[in-house]
Amino acid sequence: MRMLRFLAPALLAACTASTETPAPDAPDPVDPTVVYLTPPQHLTRASMALRGMRPSIEDLKAVAADPAQLPAIVDRYLASPDFGETIKELENESLLLRIEQSTLTFPQPPTLPTATALDINGSVFDEPLQLIQDIVMSDQPYTKIVTADYTLTNGVVSTIWGLPHTGAADQWTHARATDGRGAAGILGIEALYHRWRSTGFNYNRGRANMISRSLLCHDYLHADIDVDTTVDLSDPDVVANAVVANPSCAGCHQTLDPLASYLFPFRGTINLVALQNGTDAYPIGGYTVAQETRWRTTNKRPPMFFGTPAQSLAGLGQAIADDPRFARCTAMRFASYLTEVPRDQLSGAWVAKLQGELVATNFSAKKLARAIVLSDEFRVSTDTDATAAETTVGAQKARPDQLERMLRDLTGFRWTTTTTAKLRNIPYGTPDLLKSDFVGFRVLGGGIDSYFVTEPVHTMNATSSLVAKSAAAAAADFVVEHDFAAPAAQRTLFVAAAVTDTDEAHIRAELAHLHGRIYGELVTADSSEVDDSYALYTDALAAAGNPRRAWKVTLIGMLSDFRSLFY
């Protein structure tokens, strides 16, 4: 329904001169029941979606005074490192790399005796995400994610895979493999295939589907097939014949298996036990060129990209980049992530428009993100038509990663802890509790662990509510104590009042500031919104008799409020 309702305006927009300035909050001429966000609300949503952070008061005031300021502010957001973090999170929801599974955690390299499990997993599985981030943030064509002739390494990645690394061990720097794997971007990164292992006689089929699903939005598993159980699936020769000759198999395998054939130079699985007991040693990387023809003795299907010949891994990357499905899939993934609308509910016309813009801008992912957050589809608030309102996503929930950045930006607080826990018998490290699955609360807060939990939860439940309150309590405690001790000019949140002030005028002024900073609401000190917060403060003060405690309770309420957790 939502898709159809957006079809007309999108087509109309495509046929008229484009404008960067969002229209005022007026009825849509084509779909008059749609209600749009106000410019400050729009800015807040754009800021959270692109950066996982709330906008500054100054920016809120700027767009309130002149909505035409919004695109320039969005451009600033797109240039910030926080957008780079968002890009990694966005890509991870497709590639599902950020895992904390014992069985896939590399043993501690002897040359890195202090490396923690967080260091190792956070390095190994982030390498493809680092490359994509680098490409997007430097505004190279997004197609480079499958054609780049370089990767990024840090000390751990370099040690494990044997790739060159310059600079400090904790820094990601450009590096190039010299083993002949070619310019294939993330397709040439071993970590992708370590995460997506190929076992037994699967012959890289799962990996091929991962590539197809993630980069082309073509998931073979969605095909409606009837598996022929007369085929002996334990006999690779029988399977090799069936995937060619058996109609129920060939429908998918005709293209899947040739795609898989590109991946034989990577090991099916890496024997981590051998690394642990010393029968194998680091570095273990390597694209074995000699294995490029292994398809001849395994699946017996020459490498090919959906019927089109493409030479080696680099050829595969270029073929993907040239496939119109790549641009369309990119547009869909970005739009879905930034709006929290499921891919299959996105307006087809809008996706087509975004795809066209991506291609027209030489595959600028920044411009794609910009087009999305400045669109009418993005700034929809609700719909007065009850049926349409059912599918109108007018309240987006902050993912745990976003919540972490938001709290850090607002209060200066990082919710970390020390732990004696071990993963694969390696000290786990010092986790940020909103980013950890093993001991922390990423999954309990509605996020994904990229392994068992692969879809984020865009609503609240008991555990995410408890996570939100606990995080808010820790952040509130921190910032009140900090601002209580800090000189006025160095306070984080308390700019209109000191923590110890108790007179109504100062308290209300500070609360008005907090409404702007935390909720993106520009309200006056005597507004009804501030009345509610003032009541919370005064009640808490009456209960505790201590202004510091009263402010902590007030901030717990505000930081765990719907207006803070959603945008």
Partner 1 sequence: MNRRNLLQLAGAAGVVAMLPNARRAAAASSAPRRLIIVLAQGGWDTTWALDPKLQSATTDVPVGAKQMFGNLDVFTDASRPNVTGYFTKYAPLTAVVRGISVGSVSHQECVKRMSTGSRNELNPDLAAIVAHDRGNDMPLPYLILGDTAFAGPYAVSAGRVGATNQIIALLDPAQAYQTNGHAPIATTTSEDALLAKYADATVKRLHATRGATGYNRKRVDDFSEAIGRGKKLQAVRAGFGARGRTLTLDSQVDLALDALEQDISQTVMTSTRLGWDTHTDITDQAGFHETTYLGLTRLLDGLSTRAGRLAGTKMIDDTTVLVMSEFSRTPKINSTGGKDHWPVTSAMVIGAGVNGGRAFGATSGAMESLAVDFTTGKPSATGRVVTSTLFAAGVLKVCGVTPSDHLGPTEVFDAFVG
Q: For residues 308-347, which are near partner 1 according to CB under 8 A?
A: 342
Q: Rounded CA gap, 78 and 451, in Å?
A: 29
Of 165, 267, 379, 552, the one binding partner 1 (CB under 8 A) is 552
**Residue 262 or 551 with smaller CB distance to partner 1:** 551
Does position 273 interact with partner 1 (CB under 8 A)? The reply is no
Q: Least Å distance between CB 455 and partner 1? A: 6
Cβ-contact 516, 500 below 8 angstroms: no
Q: Least Å distance between CB 367 and partner 1? A: 29
Q: Exposed, middle or buried: residue 113 (CB in 10 Å: 0-12, 13-18, 19+)?
A: exposed
Of residues 472-501, which lie at the interface with partner 1 (CB under 8 A)?
473-474, 476-478
Q: Least Å distance between CB 420 and partner 1? A: 9
Write out the two tokens for 483: 């601002």
What are the CA-CA distances from residue 465 to residues 454, 478, 558 (Å)?
A: 20, 20, 13
In 35-161, which ranges are continuous DSSP H helix? 39-51, 57-65, 70-79, 81-95, 117-124, 127-137, 155-161
Q: Of 13-21, 228-236, 492-500, 510-518, which segment contacts partner 1 by CB under 8 A?
A: 228-236
Of 235, 324, 362, 505, the one binding partner 1 (CB under 8 A) is 235
Q: Least Å distance between CB 3 and partner 1? A: 14
* 439 dihedral zone (left: phi>0; alpha: psi -120 to 50; beta): alpha
Number of chain residues interacting with partner 1 (CB under 8 A): 91
Of residues 372-401, which lie at the interface with partner 1 (CB under 8 A)?
381-383, 386, 388-395, 397
Q: Least Å distance between CB 111 and partner 1? A: 29
Which residue shows structure tokens 């050829």? Answer: 315
Could you give the dihedral angle defined by the CA atoms of residues 276, 280, 282 and 287, in that order, rounded to the nearest 10 degrees?
A: -130
Of 323, 437, 483, 510, the one binding partner 1 (CB under 8 A) is 437
Q: Least Å distance between CB 342 and partner 1? A: 7
Of residues 19-78, which lie at the interface with partner 1 (CB under 8 A)?
35
**Residue 33 or 361 with smaller CB distance to partner 1:** 33
Q: Least Å distance between CB 146 and partner 1? A: 23
**Residue 362 or 461 with smaller CB distance to partner 1:** 461
Residue 26 CB neighbours (<10 A):
8
Of residues 196-215, which lie at the interface with partner 1 (CB under 8 A)?
199-202, 206, 209
Of 266, 441, 551, 567, the one binding partner 1 (CB under 8 A) is 441
**Residue 34 or 327 with smaller CB distance to partner 1:** 34
**Residue 205 or 370 with smaller CB distance to partner 1:** 205
Closest CA to 551 of 527, 530, 526, 534: 534
| Per-residue mark of binding to partner 1, 448-467 (x: CB under 8 A) | ---xxxxx-xxxxxxxxxxx
Q: Of 49-57, 73-81, 183-191, 229-237, which segment contacts partner 1 by CB under 8 A?
A: 229-237
Cα(first)–Cα(last) distance of the chain, in Å? 23
**Residue 310 or 380 with smaller CB distance to partner 1:** 380
**Residue 174 or 408 with smaller CB distance to partner 1:** 408
**Residue 150 or 451 with smaller CB distance to partner 1:** 451
Q: For 310, phi and psi rounded to 5 degrees?
A: -145, 130
Does position 18 interact with partner 1 (CB under 8 A)? The reply is no
Residue 157 CB neighbours (<10 A):
27
Q: Rounded CA gap, 533 and 524, in Å?
A: 12
Q: Least Å distance between CB 383 and partner 1? A: 7
Closest CA to 396 of 50, 85, 152: 50
Of residues 132-161, which lie at the interface with partner 1 (CB under 8 A)?
none
Q: Least Å distance between CB 492 and partner 1? A: 15
Does position 553 interact with partner 1 (CB under 8 A)? The reply is yes
DSSP H/E element including 380: strand 380-383
For helices 39-51 and 57-65, angle between their N-to-C axes, nearest 10 degrees: 140
Q: Least Å distance between CB 149 and partner 1? A: 33
Of residues 412-431, which lie at the interface with partner 1 (CB under 8 A)?
415-419, 421
Which residue shows structure tokens 């890009």? Answer: 87
Q: Least Å distance between CB 73 and partner 1? A: 22
**Residue 209 or 355 with smaller CB distance to partner 1:** 209
Sign of CA pseudo-dihedral 263, 268, 269, 275 = negative
Q: Least Å distance between CB 370 and partner 1? A: 25
Closest CA to 97 of 64, 124, 75, 65: 124
Does position 540 interact with partner 1 (CB under 8 A)? The reply is yes
* 444 dihedral zone (left: phi>0; alpha: psi -120 to 50; beta): alpha
| Per-residue mark of binding to partner 1, 97-126 (x: CB under 8 A) | ---x--------------------------
The single-letter code of the amino acid at 287 is Y
Does position 248 interact with partner 1 (CB under 8 A)? The reply is no
Q: Exposed, middle or buried: residue 247 (CB in 10 Å: 0-12, 13-18, 19+)?
A: exposed
